[in-house]
Structure 1
């Protein structure tokens, strides 16, 4: 229970992973912290669940892989959490063959040569990702530092050609300049489209921002499997916050935030009634849209809109592939691309932009259980079960507005048809059955994510991603600012901070906004 007679240093609204990171840092610094979470458990979208009755398989239900979580946060908070690298980076089927990337370098080279008939695309791949790897090593460490200016970040990168590629020109131009093969181009472009509805040449560069965050994670761009599922991370974070002295309260829905600039009053309701808690700071692990509603401020000028289909499956066995030259255990151990050629991605975008569900929906698939079998219970392990999680692209929320359930089912059917086209048997024949005999498959549209997690428009990043620098026109020095502005977590209220994915340098399972909001509070107190 909240001690209503006491004063808190900080109240954190929302117990997702970023809120837990902020709580742990502040509590470890000796601040009195309370976290108010609407749902019955903490973790937000970074949770593991048992979605299928009688099937002991812990699926990372909403967020799947880890790349952007800095080792610094894991070390600072003493988290008992680990990731496991995947043995293959990706596999992309094409007719009765496919492109396998990762593992043995010579095998990757041979796969490119077999697909394209020459060494050119492999050499271009090495050069292109050599550029992004150098950028990753220089940019990723800045995410947990005071927000640099645009000019300072460009100087830190110290590579004008790569800066132009990532920050100035639509990423489609670089993809087309480097690669000739349609399938290779598509594999590269997908990192610009995860959770982002855009064309390769969108002048807003929203696709570039998405691409950047997908290739800089960890300073390597690697995407790893969380050992024990995504819930292992948020459990470790909750344990760290509690051990440091933070109070975590679930079933507490925040209904309003009032501030005079020096104190905040946060109203909440529970199953038993209503209450108010006061503090010096409020750190809000919710979307900018939700924050505006809580403060009574005007809504953001640009509404957020998610653009993905998420599908979770448990299989009784992996399906056979049409490509007999690769073992399904190898093909599915990395990112398995379907309908993601460059032309296919453009067509799907055009159809969705015109208000139609894509006829050949692009998607990518991950089999976490091949890398981390610990998510399988003993019976599931004995039966040879595997998990599949699918992330579909170019599925904007607007397409589900009139008939959410019907549109979701229609898109799921079309997506599975694209998967079946590269398999030697229907995927539905491989689905495990739950305790009631139903196939183990569930799909989530942007509408579902908004209803279940309050993601505005189902947007997994809370709003469109921003470049990781301060808005200073390229001439000033954002790091000269103080407090929340210095860390990219500020709002128009000096003691109300944004610590969720909608902050500058937000998005993904990173903990970065939580860390930066905590640093802003501590820096302000120290100053």
Structure 2
């Protein structure tokens, strides 16, 4: 229950990681803040759970890696969080006629990476193209990253810092053109393309450029684009954020389902229920950590089915008694330590998109596998050293597939397993641990599960299509909310979640930027 007055400087709707970032910054600045979270816990999609009975392994159920959260933000809030680098960036098994192998990209890249490219392609040309392309993209990251915790720059300001050819490749034309013109090998092309498709359903030639925006977000974090493993799981990140918010004086109420937000001349009123009764609270500002589509409903504007976001991913969590052997003969502790690409050659990705756009579950299913326990054994509890977690993230499985066909879920999971088994020297089923009831330790989540569990419309992990992390040149940037990319149609209501400009992924940027807008206004 609320303590004291039911009027606050700021009411934060939703208790995801961005909401907690906002609450921590604002409370540290001396404002009165209350966070209202529908579930019985905070963290949103960035949580750790023990999904398999009889096993202490804590898996990152939804979000699973961290790249975009600025180190400055973590320092500002004094977060006791450690992010560990993975020794392998990626490993991609390949088969060319009678030849087979694996494309290894080390972190940092060394001679083994060069040799791996040579083994696949027969020369050093493709690796030289790889190095040149990512050096150019790295310079884009170095230009954009410092702006993410500042008021929005205009597009022309960012463009002036970037090589014109690189800008055209990444920002102005479909990314597929740059990939197919710069790289000759189908596997290499696919490895580059996958960063454009995480949670994004698009062809690489899509004129909307949503794939380009997804690609950029995956490569600009802290100026390096490195994706790191949070020690203790994703829940360790949001637990630290909740602690920072509470210690600063913010009040967090769980089990508080918000039903309406009513803007007024001096702020807004928020109605919520706790299962026993209705309550209301007022705030000079209300920050919405929910998706913009959900916010419109809370504002009384009704549901618009045609504008509802649609997610595109299949997330499967596994617990293994041991890592499986690979057909390529690679050391599993090297191959699984980074991102293991499956059925993600460029032509396979495009065929999978065409199949899904035509209403069919892709076969083969493109996807990626991660083994966080190789980097962070602590998540295994007393099974450290005798077990491993495995996370599969499938591409090109839009929510529409599962709406249209109740059997599509089982088909998608089966094809994901087939894609994994295709590169293994033994069936994955032989390595699976079993829970206390003797069932295989497998947990699958489709977009509909994400919507049901987290109230993310359409199960879209970004709350909607990502936007460029800068403002169009003719933007109105008159108010602090506009300047920070968190504005809505109501002055007292701001976005603080993934739906804010620059808000996607586990970054805290939506929360930070909303807090800065509030501090500039109040």
Interval of TM-score (by shorter of Structure 1 and Structure 2): over 0.9
Correspondence 1:82-481 to 2 at 5 A: 82-95=82-95, 96-103=100-107, 104-155=109-160, 157-297=161-301, 299=303, 302-324=307-329, 326-378=330-382, 380-382=383-385, 384-404=386-406, 406-471=407-472, 474=473, 476=474, 480-481=477-478
The reply on whether 1:498 has 2:495 as its aligned counterpart is: yes
Given that residues 136 and 217 in structure 1 are in contact (C-alpha distance below 8 angstroms), is that contact kept between their aligned partners in structure 2?
Answer: yes
Supply the distance in 2 between the matched residues of 1:26 and 1:299 (Cα, whole angstroms): 31
Q: Which deviations, in whole Å up to 9, do the C-alpha atoms of 1:113-168 show, x marking residues without a partner?
A: 0000011100000000001111111101111110111112212x232111111110
Supply the distance in 2 between the matched residues of 1:373 and 1:335 (Cα, whole angstroms): 17
Q: Which deviations, in whole Å up to 9, do the C-alpha atoms of 1:459-488 show, x marking residues without a partner?
A: 0000000001113xx3x475x522111100
The reply on whether 1:516 has 2:510 as its aligned counterpart is: no
Supply the distance in 2 between the matched residues of 1:394 and 1:511 (Cα, whole angstroms): 27
Q: After TM superposition, give the deviation of residue 225 of structure 1 in Å.
A: 0.5
Normalised by the size of structure 1, how large is the TM-score?
0.96
Q: Which deviations, in whole Å up to 9, do the C-alpha atoms of 1:234-255 show, x marking residues without a partner?
A: 0000000000000001000000
Q: After TM superposition, give the deviation of residue 6 of structure 1 in Å.
A: 4.0
SS of alignment partner, residue 505 of structure 2: coil
The root-mean-square deviation of aligned C-alpha atoms, in Å, is 1.2
2:504 pairs with 489, 503, 507, which one? 507
Match of 2:74 in 1: 74
SS of alignment partner, residue 246 of structure 2: helix
Q: Which deviations, in whole Å up to 9, do the C-alpha atoms of 1:271-325 show, x marking residues without a partner?
A: 221100111010000001100000012556632110100000000000010011x
Q: After TM superposition, give the deviation of residue 38 of structure 1 in Å.
A: 0.3
Which ranges in structure 2 are unaligned for 5 or more consecutive residues? none
Supply the distance in 2 between the matched residues of 1:297 and 1:7 (Cα, whole angstroms): 25
Supply the distance in 2 between the matched residues of 1:263 and 1:477 (Cα, whole angstroms): 25
Given that residues 484 and 520 in structure 1 are in contact (C-alpha distance below 8 angstroms), is that contact kept between their aligned partners in structure 2?
Answer: yes
Supply the distance in 2 between the matched residues of 1:410 and 1:248 (Cα, whole angstroms): 41
The number of aligned residues is 516
Match of 2:16 in 1: 16
SS of alignment partner, residue 269 of structure 2: strand
Given that residues 397 and 446 in structure 1 are in contact (C-alpha distance below 8 angstroms), is that contact kept between their aligned partners in structure 2?
Answer: yes
Supply the distance in 2 between the matched residues of 1:189 and 1:158 (Cα, whole angstroms): 21
Q: Which deviations, in whole Å up to 9, do the C-alpha atoms of 1:305-351 show, x marking residues without a partner?
A: 10100000000000010011x20000000000000000000000000
Q: Which deviations, in whole Å up to 9, do the C-alpha atoms of 1:46-96 show, x marking residues without a partner?
A: 000001111110100100100000011100000001100000100000123
SS of alignment partner, residue 148 of structure 2: helix
SS of alignment partner, residue 11 of structure 1: strand
Supply the distance in 2 between the matched residues of 1:43 and 1:477 (Cα, whole angstroms): 33
1:486 pairs with 464, 476, 483, which one? 483
Which ranges in structure 1 are unaligned for 5 or more consecutive residues? none
Task: State which drifts further: 448-457 or 240-249.
Answer: 448-457
Given that residues 268 and 275 in structure 1 are in contact (C-alpha distance below 8 angstroms), is that contact kept between their aligned partners in structure 2?
Answer: yes
Q: After TM superposition, give the deviation of residue 188 of structure 1 in Å.
A: 0.2
Q: After TM superposition, give the deviation of residue 262 of structure 1 in Å.
A: 2.0
Supply the distance in 2 between the matched residues of 1:172 and 1:158 (Cα, whole angstroms): 20
SS of alignment partner, residue 401 of structure 1: helix
Given that residues 146 and 486 in structure 1 are in contact (C-alpha distance below 8 angstroms), is that contact kept between their aligned partners in structure 2?
Answer: yes
Task: State which drifts further: 515-524 or 161-170.
Answer: 161-170
Given that residues 408 and 444 in structure 1 are in contact (C-alpha distance below 8 angstroms), is that contact kept between their aligned partners in structure 2?
Answer: no
Given that residues 261 and 494 in structure 1 are in contact (C-alpha distance below 8 angstroms), is that contact kept between their aligned partners in structure 2?
Answer: no
Normalised by the size of structure 2, how large is the TM-score?
0.97
The reply on whether 1:43 has 2:43 as its aligned counterpart is: yes
Given that residues 348 and 361 in structure 1 are in contact (C-alpha distance below 8 angstroms), is that contact kept between their aligned partners in structure 2?
Answer: yes
Supply the distance in 1 between the matched residues of 2:162 and 2:226 (Cα, whole angstroms): 22
